[in-house]
Every structure is written in structure tokens, then in C-alpha cells.
Amino acid sequence: MSNGIYVQRTLAIIKPDAVQKAEEIEDIILRSGFTILQKRWIHLSPEQCSEFYSEHSSKIFFPSLVAFMSSDPIVVMELAKENAISSWRNLIGNTNSHKARNLEPESIRAKYGRDEQRNAVHGSDSEMSAEREIRFFFGRSIVEPIPTDQAAKDYLEGKLNPTILKALTQLCKEKPHDPVTWLADWLLANNPYKPLVNTRVTVVEQ
């Protein structure tokens, strides 16, 4: 049985109106427990924006949305966390930045958004949307399981700590002149998970 779990993924976009605050927003994302799996700075063309927002093509705001989203670079991120979609939507707040300031003053849109369109960030609204949007920007990414805190602790205690303990014990005994290099060499030589290679050479008589 694997120690890892497949956490949910979602797409986050820092829009043109907030891209100058990208570093601050990324810090909020990380402090809120998200893992940034992939990130791209990109300047979309109007055609690319039209494709991405195609579900809104019949809406009256569609032309202005395309013009806004293609006006300057954006930051696109694939985020991971348990319940990532709802967690990210809660963190960014109401679509209308004015309402967000009244109802959710600590949300990202309340802090960095201006109005309903220039609202700082985007978040996928469903698993289907998240998969489509991630695929749009990053292709067909295959994500390994991200371990829970307990799984990570179990992995360290069961797989890494015993080897590290042996290495440090030997280091204390030998007291090498360059302990960092010695430790690196020792770990390479004594890695219990390195593949075993048959070094014997068979000579075939002609």
C-alpha cells in the first residue's frame, strides 16, 4: 500500500491587474498550505484568451474580458492541496472585488482586486474545469502522489533516518578534515536503494 495520496489539483491565474503583486500572492498561496506544482509567466494572445474563455463567448462581457486578459503578462500556476478547488476559491473570495472587501476582507480579491473583471486572480470552479485548464497551459501533466504529513514522517523514519544515523555515527568516529564531502561520498557509497550492478565480465572464446 502506498504512503502517498493523490491530492486535488486546481489552476490559479494571477491576472494582469495584480501581476506586479505576484510574489506577495504566491507567498499567501504557500502559507495557506498549497504546493505549486508548475508555474509559468505568459502573455496570452487575444486568440488564446478567446479559446481559454470559450465557455463565456456568448456573454456580453466576453470582448472586454479577452482584451483585459491579453493586455499584459499573467502568472499561471498548477496548485495542489486536499480539496484544492474549494480551498483556493475560498482563499480568493467573491468574484466581485467590491463585495469581497465587504464580505471577505482577508481574501486575495479583497486585497488586490479592483472590480468584477479586474479581480486579481482566477480559480477553477470544478474538477472538470481544473483538468481542462491545467491541460490548456501545461499539457498532460502526470503528478506523483504528494504525501500527507504522517506519510512523510513515516517515510523519513523508515527509509532515510536509519541511513543518515549510520552516516553521522561513522562521521563522528572518523572526524574527516572535510566532513561535508566525506558525508556525501559515504551516502553515495552506502545508499541502500542503489541498483545492484553485476560487474563480472564474461569472456566468450571465438
Q: Which residues are catalytic?
A: 122
- CA 62 vs CA 94, 116, 145: distances in Å: 19, 13, 37
Q: How crowded is the C-beta side of 18, counted as CA atoms within 13 Å?
A: 27
Q: Is 119 annotated as a binding residue?
A: yes
Cβ atoms within 10 Å of 83's Cβ, excluding its own: 12
Residue 16 DSSP label: G
Q: Is 15 annotated as a binding residue?
A: yes
| CA gap 165, 153 in Å, rounded | 16
Q: Is 99 annotated as a binding residue?
A: no
| CA gap 190, 63 in Å, rounded | 62
CB neighbour class for 19 (10 Å; exposed up to 12, middle 13-18, buried from 19): middle
| CA gap 144, 201 in Å, rounded | 38
Q: Find out whether 65 and 53 touch, Cβ atoms under 8 Å.
A: yes
Q: Is 9 annotated as a binding residue?
A: no
Q: Is 35 annotated as a binding residue?
A: no
Q: Is 109 annotated as a binding residue?
A: yes
Cβ atoms within 10 Å of 38's Cβ, excluding its own: 17
Instruction: Kindly state the cell numbers that stand for 106.
Output: 482577508
Q: Provide the β-strand partners of residue 80.
A: 9, 35
| Binding site as annotated, residues for ATP | 15, 61, 89, 95, 109, 119
| Binding site as annotated, residues | 15, 61, 89, 95, 109, 119
